[in-house]
Structure 1
């Protein structure tokens, strides 16, 4: 199996769990946050929904410079918009990955803000990092939802709520 085929398979498998988590976000708690330093539920869920975009960026660009392209999150107003946004970024990412040539994967990809470099890694590593970020933020969302007494679906097996 090629690396890109493996990425596409993993992306599809992980999208099932991501979709389950995003679908249970309570709209009446969109602006809740567990701590002043934490994102709100809306910000965190939106970030999860946009994360597939980073796999697209890894295969279509050599860098993301926030000084050139300032971060502008999409405004999500309800769960329907959240899920649609995720489906859009997921489809875009799958299309870009499927069209990519594996020869580019060892090339360097950089995330920066001007001279401040946050990450400099191979395009393959950048794709892997985007997948890890989705899982990481999905787990954060699970903690947020647990604190709100929202039953959590299983990810890689049953959850405490599903047993």
Structure 2
């Protein structure tokens, strides 16, 4: 079984849910955070938007050294900027993955900060981690939005805000 078609299918599916979530981020709440140690909504949504670009980074580099390349969030000023950043990073990541070969997924990729190594994984594992990070941070964003009383869309089924749209009793009684 080939890995790239499975990764592309997962990437496409997660993009649908991510677009729904990012599209409801309110610009007037960009600087809000639920706790002093939390990212702001702007930072969190910006990070989610850039994560598909980690597929490109995994396939075109041998690693990331924060000491040589300090992390910078994408600059976003409104919801449209977030969506544009997501579409840009998604298109890049997907295009690089489509062009990749199975052999391109095998080499190691290293995440470090100077001499401190955080992780060494195959490029395939780094791609899967990027997808997991997108889901993880998207869930965080869902909590942030819920705390602001903003109805959230479902990810893998209806959210609590959408339950009234479905008749589960009749669906399971047949």
TM-score of the two chains, using structure 1 as the length reference: 0.97
Measured in 2, the distance between the counterparts of 1:117 and 1:19 equals 33
Alpha-carbon contact 2:18-2:138 (below 8 Å) kept: yes
Which residue of structure 2 lines up, in the alignment, with residue 121 of structure 1?
Answer: 121
4+ residue segments displaced more than 6 Å:
none
Q: CA deviation at 1:119?
A: 1.3
Which residue of structure 1 lines up, in the alignment, with residue 29 of structure 2?
Answer: 29
Aligned CA RMSD, in angstroms, stands at 0.8
Which residue of structure 1 lines up, in the alignment, with residue 8 of structure 2?
Answer: 8
Which residue of structure 2 lines up, in the alignment, with residue 74 of structure 1?
Answer: 74
Listed as ranges, the matches of 1:1-163 within 5 Å are: 2-163=2-163
Measured in 2, the distance between the counterparts of 1:38 and 1:139 equals 14
Unpaired stretches in structure 2, ≥5 consecutive residues? 164-174
Q: CA deviation at 1:147?
A: 0.1
Q: CA deviation at 1:2?
A: 2.1
TM-score of the two chains, using structure 2 as the length reference: 0.91
Unpaired stretches in structure 1, ≥5 consecutive residues? none
Q: CA deviation at 1:70?
A: 1.4
Q: Secondary structure at the match of 2:76?
A: coil
Measured in 2, the distance between the counterparts of 1:154 and 1:89 equals 23
Count the aligned residue pairs.
163
Measured in 1, the distance between the counterparts of 2:111 and 2:88 equals 23
User: Larger radius of gyration, structure 1 or 2?
Assistant: 2
